[in-house]
Amino acid sequence: MIYKRKRETMVAHVRKLGITDEKVLKSMDIVPRHKFVASGSEFQAYDEKALPIGYEQTISHPYTVAVMSQALSLDKGSRVLEIGTGSGYQAAVLCQMGLQVFTIERISALGKKAEAVLNELKYHFALRIGDGTMGWQTYAPFDGIIVTAGAPVSPETLLSQLKEGGKLLIPVGSKDEQMLTMYIREGASYTKIEIEKLSFVPLIGQYGWQ
Ligand code: SAH
C-alpha cells in the first residue's frame, strides 16, 4: 500500500519532467521497483535516484527508464534487445508494456538476481550472460535495441541487428557523461537523433570500454 502510493508519486514526477506516453507511465505505475533494489534501500526505490545494486553498478533513475522506454515507442509484441540487465527493472517495464524482451548482462551474479525477480513477477523474457556489445544474433533482427550503459562509440554489430525502421537507443560519450542517441535504420543507412545528456555506468566489452 505504501509502495503503491510511492509509485504514484514517482509516476507523477516523471510526468512533470515531460514523459507523456501513457503506456510507459502505466507500466511504471504497475512494476514494483522496490523489488529490484538492494535489500535495505526499498524505501528509496521510488525516489528520482540511481541506487547501488552491487558490483559497482546501479539501477537507473526512474526518469532515465521512462525517457528510454518512451523513445523506443514500440507496439505490443515488438522484439526488443536490452544490453545491461542490471537490476532487471528496465526489462520489467518493457515486459509490462507488452514487448518481447531479450536482455544481456555481463555480470553473472546480477543477471541471475534479475532473472529471479523477473520470474517471481511472472514476466516472460530471455536473458543471457555475456558481452552485449556483440548483440544477440540468434534472435535478431530486433524492432528496438536499448543500451543501458554508456558507450564510447556506437557498435556496428548492434546497428546490423536492427530491422528496417528499427531503433537503437544508446548513450554515447565519455565515461562521465553521454548523449542519449537514437539511430533509426533506413536501408543501409541510419538517421541519427540526439535526445538528451544523461549519465550511465560504462559499457564494458569488445565494442565498449576495455
Ligand atoms: N537496465 C538496468 C541498468 C543497469 S546499469 C536496470 O534497469 O537496472 C548497466 C548494466 O550494464 C550493469 O549491470 C553492467 O554490468 C551492464 N553492462 C556493462 N557492460 C555490458 C556489456 N558489454 N554487456 C552486458 N551488460 C553490460
Domains of the chain from N-terminus onward: 64-198 (3.40.50.150)
Report the run of H or E that residue 51 belongs to, with start and end: strand 51-54
C-beta of 149 in contact with ligand 1 (< 6 A):
yes
Is 3 in contact with 85 (CB distance < 8 Å)? no
> 190 in helix, strand or coil?
strand
Q: For a substitution probing ligand 1, which of 31, 65, 105 has the most ligand atoms within 8 Å of its CB?
A: 105
User: What is residue 1's predicted lDDT score, i.e. its pLDDT?
Assistant: 76
170, three cell numbers: 544508446
Q: Cα angle at 2 between 63 and 99, to 5 degrees?
A: 45
Closest-lying ligand 1 atom to the alpha carbon of residue 58: 5
Active site residue 60: yes
Q: Any residues with CB less than 8 A from the CB of 102 and at least 6 apart, and which?
A: 79, 80, 81, 82, 125, 126, 127, 128, 136, 139, 142
Q: Which of 78, 122, 138, 128 is nearest to 108 (CA)?
A: 128
Q: Could you list the pLDDT tens digit for every one of the 210 residues in the chain?
A: 799 999 999 999 999 999 999 999 999 999 999 999 999 999 999 999 999 999 999 999 999 999 999 999 999 999 999 999 999 999 999 999 999 999 999 999 999 999 999 999 999 999 999 999 999 999 999 999 999 999 999 989 999 999 999 999 999 999 999 999 999 999 989 999 999 999 999 999 999 999
Is the overall model pTM greater than 0.95, yes or no? yes
81 C-beta closer than 6 A to ligand 1: no
- Active-site entry in 27, 39, 41, 60: 60
**How many Å lie between the centroid of ligand 1 and the Cα of residue 1?**
30
State in Å: Cα 67 to ligand 1 middle: 17
pLDDT for 106: 98
| C-alpha–C-alpha distance, residues 142 and 102, integer Å | 9
